[in-house]
Amino acid sequence: MSDDNFLVTVENLQFDYGGKPVLRGINMRIPKGRVVAIMGGSGCGKTTLLRLIGGQLRPTAGSVRVAGEAIDEMRHARLYAFRRRMGMLFQFGALFTDLSVFDNVAFPLREHTDLPEEMIRDLTLMKLQAVGLRGARDLMPNALSGGMARRVALARAMALDPALIMYDEPFTGLDPISLGVIGQLIRRLNDASGATSIMVTHDVQESLQMVDYIYFISEGRVAAEGAPEEVRASADPLVHQFVTAKANGPVPYHFPAPDMAADFLGAAHV
């Protein structure tokens, strides 16, 4: 593919937090119109990578380009305007608790456009219809189930018809039915809108059914990557452990500890 076919390009991306390396040279190319998953163990830097792509953080070294523009070089005003082309679904939805379902979804339209209220109303209802919740427009977030709240958050992320949509653990805390619904919605809405989606997730089985490509992050680097069929068949120990949910492997079950004999035979504890 030519560079024009890639919406997001990450080159030699490095990020340190408090002097500690978190990402150590990430390289990724995400084609337009695709759904891409970023997987890895807790604390490996997946959400940090998402924040760097969205411009919430600045890299220590390397670059992030979205639609050909360097996110890491943008000043605040330019970045704020550019984010109109991005949507974000936060973990657990992050709805505004004092706003109704309708006003949550309408918020980006009111914040980033000068559209008349009549048009905002129609667009908001269209987004809610797309996620099956037009009838819930007047409910408050505390009246929603977890799956409904996540669908409202998805409608809000899609409100401005963004070119790039980012999902931070979209399946966390959902029952199997809601999880399946959200997965199908992400795939269907992405294809219908022509958007590009990047999804940080631990849910391997759901992701294998709906994404186009997967990156595995380990110790701040891309440890493995591939299409779902490649991931299923992979002999890579890290990928195999994730897919099969094995307790032990490259990600060890036991935290490093002193010799058992020394502990149990009463040797001095350090």
Q: Which two tokens stand for residue 116?
A: 């008349």
**Mean pLDDT on 44-66:** 90
Query: Is pLDDT of 1 > 70?
Result: no
pLDDT of residue 86: 87
- Tell me which of 250 and 76 has the higher pLDDT: 76
228, 214 contact by CB (below 8 A): yes
**Mean pLDDT on 241-245:** 77
> Does the global pTM surpass 0.85?
no
Classify residue 264: in a domain, yes or no.
Answer: no
Classify residue 202: in a domain, yes or no.
Answer: yes
Which segment of 36-45, 118-127, 153-162 scores lowest on mean pLDDT?
A: 36-45
Classify residue 97: in a domain, yes or no.
Answer: yes
The model's pLDDT over 102-114, given as tens digits with 9 standing for 90+, comes to 999 999 999 888 9
**Mean pLDDT on 123-142:** 93
SS (H, E, C) 34-88: CEEEEEECCCCCHHHHHHHHCCCCCCCEEEEEECCEEHHHCCHHHHHHHHHHEEE
Domains contained in the chain, number: 1
pLDDT of residue 179: 85
Classify residue 247: in a domain, yes or no.
Answer: no
Cα–Cα distance, 166 to 94 (Å, whole number): 14
For the domain that residue 74 is a member of, what is the CATH number? Answer: 3.40.50.300
Domain housing 226: 3-234
Classify residue 196: in a domain, yes or no.
Answer: yes
- Sheet with 86-89, side-by-side order of all strands: 86-89, 164-168, 196-200, 35-40, 213-218, 221-226
Classify residue 198: in a domain, yes or no.
Answer: yes
pLDDT of residue 266: 66
DSSP letter for each residue of the chain: --GGGEEEEEEEEEEEETTEEEEEEEEEEEETT-EEEEEESTTSSHHHHHHHHTTSS--SEEEEEETTEEGGG--HHHHHHHGGGEEEEBTTB---TTS-HHHHHHHHHHHH----HHHHHHHHHHHHHHTT-GGGTT--GGGS-HHHHHHHHHHHHTTT--SEEEEESTTTT--HHHHHHHHHHHHHHHHHHT-EEEEE-S-HHHHHHH-SEEEEEETTEEEEEE-HHHHHH---HHHHHHHHT-SSSSS-SSPP---HHHHHTTPPP-
Classify residue 47: in a domain, yes or no.
Answer: yes
**Mean pLDDT on 134-141:** 94
- Tell me which of 247 and 50 has the higher pLDDT: 50
Classify residue 64: in a domain, yes or no.
Answer: yes
The model's pLDDT over 256-268, given as tens digits with 9 standing for 90+, comes to 888 877 777 765 5
